[in-house]
A and B are shown apart, each in its own frame.
Chain A
Amino acid sequence: MSDLPSDFANELSALTREYLRSLPTDHLQFCANYFQKRLQSQRAEFVLAQQLSSTNAGAMATTNFPGSNPFGSSPSNTAMHALQEEDETDQMTSPTASFPSNYNLNRRTSVSAESLNPTSAQNDNWAPPFHQKTADQWSRLKTAVSGNFLFAPLDDDQSTAVLGALQEKPIPAKDIKVISQGDVGDFFYVVENGSFDIYVNPSGKIASGPDGLGSKVGNVGPGGSFGELALMYNAPRAATVVSTERSTLWALDRVTFRRILMDSAFQRRRMYEGFLEEVPLLTSLTPYERSKIADALETRRYPAGTTIIKEGDVGEAFFILESGDAEVFKRGTEQPVNRYKKGDYFGELALLNDKPRAASVVSKTEVKVATLGKDGFQRLLGPVEGIMRRNDPSKASVESVDPLAS
């Protein structure tokens, strides 16, 4: 979805803000003055930036901070400019980042989706709605959302649930407003067939009158989509979308989308925590520690026939098999010595020592594993030796013994 140049929209919202701040009586004079000033400062900034970059100092590396150095050894009122010099000339990272043009200097509004708790925690039996689609429709929908970062991380199950929840919405005629700029947004749409024009009114919302829609900024046709921000939280619609002919849409609402994501993430997490409880090496972890490990587990996929760990290598990570099958091989034997299925874990001794892997694990099917390296594990929970010592009384520290104990 394209829209009005953001530079322009930003200027207008800055003007609106200034206007609200001063509530002038003479509107036109105020706006004229404002833009005159704005133009001057923008041109001045540009010139300054040119000068600075030509002298190889970082553009916009200036500060007008009116105070003093809180950590100054001399009494306060040290000039901050002098301070600048001392502090900031001693290093140079690559001078790639500079002040973004048209950065929004206004206050930023907080956003929030509705509070959701995982279904399984409440024991209600929510299941996502499912709407039948033809094979063609499935593949078209898959393609349509493939470029969207909200859909990219979905696994197959999630993707099936989300696409299944998309509901057909016929638009019977032209000139029907599917979404109106400024309205609350609860749905995301994919165009199945037909065509829609996109309009943006610079005031931020649709107005009455012939030009109320604002100006046309684009068009979406089959395979296109719009309204994706509504899948994250309820924000006012940024544009108005109007049908130009009889059309069909697929619609998905935020709560359904988020519940699907949350429920599957929650179930996966419970599975992780369940696994972690079973690993003998980790039984002494507190629930909080297990939760931290579960947060940090990283999902990886391997095609069939991949050697996940190799006998003789130094072990650096442990693995939980989330889906698929794997086989364990030892040197000198043709047949697998063991098989792993969903819920099994391996490689956990790597957390304890640097001994070479005692066997190889090879994926038999496509597999998904959750993994965490020894380094990461130790950064999160501290040295493994300490954790191991917890449930081994022979290694309890001497200082903790009661002097009267025999």
Chain B
Amino acid sequence: MPSLGFLKKKRTKDSSGSAKDFESPTSPTITKEPSQLSQPRSNPDALSNPATSTTASASAVTSDTNNSTAAQQNTAEPMNTAATPQQQPQTYSSPEASQQQNQPSIQNVINPPNNDSGYRATPARDGDAMQISPPPQVQARVTKGKYSLVDFQIQRTLGTGSFGRVHLVQSKHNQRFYAVKVLKKAQVVKMKQVEHTNDERRMLGRVKHPFLITLWGTFQDSKNLYMVMDFVEGGELFSLLRKSQRFPNPVAKFYAAEVTLALDYLHSMDIIYRDLKPENLLLDRHGHLKITDFGFAKEVPDITWTLCGTPDYLAPEVVASKGYNKSVDWWSLGILIFEMLCGFTPFWDGGSPMKIYENILKGRVKYPPYIHHDALDLLQKLITHDLTQRLGNLHGGSKDVMNHPWFAEVTWERLMKKDIDAPYVPPVRAGVGDASQFDKYPEETEAYGQTGDDPHERLFGDF
């Protein structure tokens, strides 16, 4: 195996001039006045002053509606750096202002003129705008977040889950593309995931890392919760893996290394992730990873109890309901590396989850012959029941993983700066909402932005 690491000048970090416009993090809603951009951080209690926030929202709405090109020059901080959304200019905090502004715009943009009472959804084709039309007189009920449904044009579905889906959306203010995760409150409640959902928002709000998805803000209406995140254009690592059958050793190593840095960061903040799998890893346009879906992320300084994750990836102590700690993420990293190298997971068994769990508890792994011996050694130290053997859980922490021979060629500082070229650059056109790398899904048929009774209102105060 060649010893490497003398790496040429890389193009993958976000520094080149021409691309910059699309690269730099940009808030989906933008205020025009420069003073307001600096204000949120220096004046954190702006929101507590009703006069200030009303003024801010009024001017924001005006500038947004009339002038989107000027707005594009500005950038804003995602919510995670600003600690709480309250420190951002509150765009629609005044009920009167939002009433006046929301009503016409939501009718114009989300509601096609040919539809009267009902709503319909047509499967999106090639990025066409979704035609989900809300019932008449719909208006997004704005709570605390700085965004609302009227700030976005909803487009096709990028992925679906048990209680919601993710849409490609375009900001009406800066024309940039974002991904909005929509969760049905009733379903969240029915599946008893209220706590996990609130944790998801809280944890995403705390993190800022090159390999983690950025959350810009959240809002809700009477039926749904919305989380505005970056649109990561390259699709899921899952799709690339299935297309490739399996990854060559150095390729698996590259992705595993980026995940390792992200886990190291999360654990340093006492955040346990709990749902590592290729489906939750997105590729950006340069081919670097972003971990998405914080649905089970939680602050866990020591031990936690809830059984959650994805069957193939569950650690034995989770299956056995013993109470477990952050090291379950390192076990899952082992499963992920195995799956990247082999194309399948080690405990899979004929599609029955109970059989998978039995295999996990037995813990016997058959390693295919083509696994590199360094990788084999690392896998055996990650996929182990013995917590005094599992790398990442020991005295050296995540450094033990990073210093493992399999990762010897990885220059971690450069990797962190995205200074190592990704092995695969997704064929996407940057910045134009190119969702070609995402599979297609049947579209939602229920209108977004509904008002009316909300029996679950109290449960999601953070949104």
Contacts and interface: CB of A to CB of B under 8 A. Distances in A.
Contacts of B352: 3, 6
B245 A102 contact: no
Interface residues of B, number: 93
Given A61-B368, A102-B351, A107-B279, A72 B310 contact: no
A261 B311 contact: no
A43 B372 CA distance: 29
Given A61-B368, A71-B4, A98-B368, A379 B389 contact: yes
A105 B242 contact: yes
A291 B325 CA distance: 9
A222 interface: no
Contacts of B307: 111-113, 232-233, 258
A93 B423 contact: no
A125 interface: no
A115 interface: yes
A20 B441 contact: yes
A72 B275 CA distance: 31
Interface string B235-262: 0001010111111111101100000000
A44 to B, nearest CB: 14
Contact of B306 (A80, A98, A112, A149): A112
A108 to B, nearest CB: 5
A372 interface: yes
Looking at chain A's contact residues, is the secondary structure mostly helix, strand, loop, or mixed?
A: loop
Contacts of A99: 342-344
B350 to A, nearest CB: 4
Contacts of A104: 348, 351
B302 interface: yes
Interface in A251-300: 258, 261-262, 265-266, 269, 287-288, 291-292, 295-296
B195 interface: yes
Given A9-B351, A84-B248, A228-B354, A112 B424 contact: no
Contacts of A91: 369, 372-373
Interface residues of A, number: 87
B287 A23 contact: no
A92 interface: yes
Contacts of A372: 388
B424 A65 contact: yes
Interface string A63-90: 1111111111101100010011011101
Given A70-B254, A71-B253, A111-B311, A58 B323 contact: no
Nearest to B247: A65
Given A21-B440, A291-B303, A380-B395, A108 B369 contact: no
B2 A86 contact: yes
Interface string B280-319: 0000000100000001100001110111111110000001
Interface in B325-346: 325, 342-344
Interface in A22-50: 23
B120 interface: no
A117 interface: yes
Given A66-B244, A110-B296, A296-B387, A71 B367 contact: no
B175 to A, nearest CB: 29
B248 A112 contact: no
A153 B325 CA distance: 20
B244 A93 contact: no
A21 B342 CA distance: 26
B261 to A, nearest CB: 14
B393 A62 contact: no
Contacts of A262: 305, 321, 323
Interface in B156-198: 161-162, 191-193, 195-196
Contact of A269 (B8, B253, B303, B423): B303
A65 B325 CA distance: 35
Interface string B346-363: 001111111001100100
A99 to B, nearest CB: 6
Contacts of B425: 67
A288 B302 contact: yes
A105 B344 CA distance: 8
A202 interface: no
Nearest to B400: A379
Contact of A379 (B4, B388, B423): B388
Interface of B: 1-2, 4-6, 8, 123, 161-162, 191-193, 195-196, 238, 240, 242-251, 253-254, 275, 277, 279, 287, 295-296, 301-303, 305-312, 319-325, 342-344, 348-354, 357-358, 361, 366-373, 376, 386-389, 393-395, 409-410, 420-425, 439-442
Closest 4 CB pairs of A and B: A67-B424, A376-B388, A97-B366, A112-B308
25 contacts: A9-B351, A23-B123, A58-B370, A66-B424, A67-B251, A69-B248, A69-B251, A70-B250, A70-B254, A71-B410, A86-B1, A90-B373, A91-B369, A95-B368, A108-B312, A112-B309, A115-B196, A262-B305, A291-B302, A291-B303, A292-B325, A376-B386, A379-B388, A379-B394, A380-B394
Given A91-B369, A95-B368, 6 more contacts: A60-B343, A66-B243, A71-B420, A102-B351, A228-B354, A262-B323
